[in-house]
Structure 1
Amino acid sequence: MFDINNILRENIKNLVPYSSARDEFKGEASIYLDANENAFGSPLDKAYNRYPDPMQYQVKMRLSEIKGVPARNIFLGNGSDEAIDILFRSFCNPGVDNVILVPPTYGMYEVSANINDVEARKVPLTEEYQLNVEGISEAIDKNTKLIFICSPNNPTGNSINRDDIETLLANFSGIIVVDEAYINFSRQKTFIQELTEYANLVVMQTLSKAWGLAGLRVGMAFASEEIIEVMNKVKPPYNINEASQQLALQALQNTDLVNLWIKELLAERDKLVLKLKDFDFVLDIYPSDANFILVKTTDAKGIYNFLVGYGIIVRDRSKVELCQGSLRITVGTPDENQKLLETLQLYK
């Protein structure tokens, strides 16, 4: 049975969070003399002299409308990477606790574990890129605090079997993080709908992929109110800057355009897969629920270097476990995809 107090670090239980000027006053005022800001403005066309909303209320309310989740169940971070790091700092005692990773997967889970001096226990995916549930269960001990599952998975592109994730959620006393950075491109439904069912579930999403806002660095975590309260207590007071909040809010009004892009991208992905299969050096193309494809080739490094020579950059994943000989190729615009295919025709 999940009890947040059983896995929360003692120092975090007793932590008194920093109280900012904007935490202490709610509402609007005509004169702000509380935060030592520059009252004259900013040397820009738009003024950014005031500190941003520390809890990003307007952005969360708009996300609440889109996602169907109460704002109190939403955490916003400086990219999903901040949410990952805060989970480590909140629940994992350095040098004592461990987390479980299921490679091949997103590399920042392991980087954050190393930064926080937390053991990362690896239970590789199966040959079909699915969870080894039995292996994960055997790797869990009393100090296992987090399990990270990326679905659709990066770099493989496939969605993880939903029943396997639910089996772990029902039987693990720590937190399971389901990273859905690519969920907008997937046929699978989001795990956000399961938040009321599983108190130990954290779902991460991002505005970096389908929403095209990678440069703004806005990541999302959805979880129970008690987990979100912990994350808000640990985060820096003003972790999302004012420009990112304003632009994110503006972008979140354009759902129709984003949905149109997603539809076009998925059509381009299907066309790209069909064309790539014609090349002799392509051995396999794995099914994808993301905006990229994993392509197994006869010479990943050689093809990568060849494309670099023409100014085309893909990702060589050939040194990643279970991805030997593979390139990860992001689906581009129709023109970009065509240029890629024309260039590959020159490869010998």
Structure 2
Amino acid sequence: MTQENSLRILAAPVDHNDHDNKAVQTMSVFKSHIAAMSAYSPPLEGRDPEQHLLLDFNERTLPVSPQVRQALLDYLNNDRLQMYPNYGELTERIADYNGISSNQVMITNGSDQGIDLIIRASCREGDEAIIPGPSFAMYYQCAKVENLKIAEPQYTREEEFPAQAVLDAITPATRLIVIANPNNPSGTAVSRETIIEIAKTAPEAAILVDECYFEYTQSTVSDLVNDYPNLLVTRTFSKTWGLPSIRLGYVISSPDNINALLNVRGPYDVNQFAVVAATAALAHPEYTEDYVREVMTVSKPLFEAFLVNKQIDFWPSAANYLWTFPDDPDAINRHLQANNILVRPKADQQGRLGLRITLGNKAQTERLIQVLDEVIPTP
């Protein structure tokens, strides 16, 4: 049979009066719970950095360093696109940056892949997971793909991280506990002591601590991964380093855990652009450090003072964003959009709509305040 004839047969019209054809047409080859899921679809359409001030995705609001840009251009000009990635010393550089051994690090295609690999490697269908909420959608997405039973203790503004509820939810079937430190969208920090207590209480569960905003908080448990073999930390170059488009993250854990995860990760899952950019960024950390310092010590206090003056509720945050709850958030969001400023609407567990607002540098924050001042009266 020729390829052309084969293609004609495959494309032949289905007889919808045939019972067997109907069955073939409606049957999914995928697991039923996956076919029934919905995709995680962040609102990416229409985001134009030339037109908008992007305060909606907790991204770095300024371009990457000249050194990163030049390193990428040099790589393109060296005519190596036809070669497979060569990771070289990137793992060692990341380990040095974190003050740990290179056998405690695995690079990943964004921290999303690290989260996915940890959940896939540690959990079986029907296992129990504890994911305090509301939180980052990818935790739930990856857990649902593995068809886990999810317990979701709730963050509150008053009690912050639901530590006791997490501890109470642990059972012999618990195989995963996710701790976002700090949490997204609330910005809530989790103490080192709380994480240790959870790791001790659930020794058979993977304790996934997502530290993707580490540079803002400087809070970590990465130094404890050899003491607690169930502890796994995920990090990213997407936020403070300003490299979300090239997708680079990493996992920190004990050498045994890293070796096991390397059995699951593909040999070329991380692209060479990510390696080149991250290597250049780590060689010049002052560019990131200066940006973080301005956001956390200038912009954030400035915006918090504005919110307090306007008597607008917001959650205390350890990161570069604030979850705010003004009156009539829809109208305020429309006003911001009309002035080419994008923020992220997010509802709390009671359904109260808030606006999660990323902080940029001082000039960007002053512009944000000026626009908000036009529509929010002072009490």
Shorter-chain-normalised TM-score: which range? 0.7 to 0.9
Cα offset, 1:165, TM superposition:
1.5
Name the SS of the counterpart of 1:204 in structure 2.
Answer: strand
Residue in 1 aligned with 2:84? 51
Q: Matches of residues 59-70 of structure 1 in structure 2 within 5 Å?
A: 59-70=90-101
Q: Deviations over 1:262-304 (max 9, x none)?
A: 111112111121123333xx52232221011121211222212
Cα offset, 1:129, TM superposition:
4.9
Residue in 2 aligned with 1:215? 245
Tell me which of 234, 241, 246 is aligned to 2:271.
Answer: 241
Name the SS of the counterpart of 1:329 in structure 2.
Answer: strand
Matched to 1:347, the amino acid is: V
Identical-residue share of aligned pairs (%): 27
Q: Matches of residues 74-93 of structure 1 in structure 2 within 5 Å?
A: 74-93=105-124
Q: Deviations over 1:182-201 (max 9, x none)?
A: 12111x53111211221110
* Equivalent-residue separation in structure 2 for 1:86 and 1:67 (angstroms): 21
* Equivalent-residue separation in structure 2 for 1:332 and 1:168 (angstroms): 34
Residue in 1 aligned with 2:152? 122
Cα offset, 1:146, TM superposition:
0.7
* Equivalent-residue separation in structure 1 for 2:265 and 2:348 (angstroms): 32
Residue in 2 aligned with 1:342? 370
Name the SS of the counterpart of 2:245 in structure 1.
Answer: helix
Residue in 2 aligned with 1:327? 355
Q: Matches of residues 32-47 of structure 1 in structure 2 within 5 Å?
A: 46-47=79-80
Task: Judge conservation of contact 1:276–1:341 (CA < 8 Å) in 2.
Answer: no
Alignment partner of 1:269 is 2:292? no
Residue in 1 aligned with 2:333? 304
Matched to 1:214, the amino acid is: P
* Equivalent-residue separation in structure 2 for 1:124 and 1:308 (angstroms): 31
Relative contact order higher in (CA < 8 Å, ≥ 6 apart): 2
Task: Judge conservation of contact 2:157–2:315 (CA < 8 Å) in 1.
Answer: no
Cα offset, 1:45, TM superposition:
5.9
Q: Give the alignment's Cα RMSD to 1 decimal.
A: 2.0
Name the SS of the counterpart of 2:185 in structure 1.
Answer: coil
Task: Judge conservation of contact 2:210–2:234 (CA < 8 Å) in 1.
Answer: yes
Task: Judge conservation of contact 1:181–1:204 (CA < 8 Å) in 2.
Answer: yes
Alignment coverage as a number of residue pairs: 300
Cα offset, 1:91, TM superposition:
1.5
Cα 1:285–1:147 shift into 2, 3 Å:
same
Matched to 2:224, the amino acid is: E
* Equivalent-residue separation in structure 1 for 2:157 and 2:309 (angstroms): 24
Alignment partner of 1:146 is 2:176? yes
Cα offset, 1:323, TM superposition:
7.4
Alignment partner of 1:164 is 2:194? yes
Task: Judge conservation of contact 2:85–2:268 (CA < 8 Å) in 1.
Answer: yes
Question: Structure 1: 5+ residue runs without aligned partners?
Answer: 1-41
Name the SS of the counterpart of 1:252 in structure 2.
Answer: helix
Question: Structure 2: 5+ residue runs without aligned partners?
Answer: 1-74
Cα offset, 1:93, TM superposition:
1.2
Larger Rg: 2
* Equivalent-residue separation in structure 1 for 2:156 and 2:308 (angstroms): 24
Tell me which of 325, 339, 344 is aligned to 1:315.
Answer: 344
Cα 1:183–1:322 shift into 2, 3 Å:
farther
Tell me which of 181, 185, 191 is aligned to 2:212.
Answer: 181
Q: Matches of residues 288-303 of structure 1 in structure 2 within 5 Å?
A: 288-303=317-332
Of 249-258 and 303-312, the range deviating more from structure 2: 303-312
* Equivalent-residue separation in structure 2 for 1:161 and 1:128 (angstroms): 16
* Equivalent-residue separation in structure 2 for 1:299 and 1:129 (angstroms): 26
Residue in 1 aligned with 2:19? none
Residue in 1 aligned with 2:283? 253
Matched to 2:115, the amino acid is: I
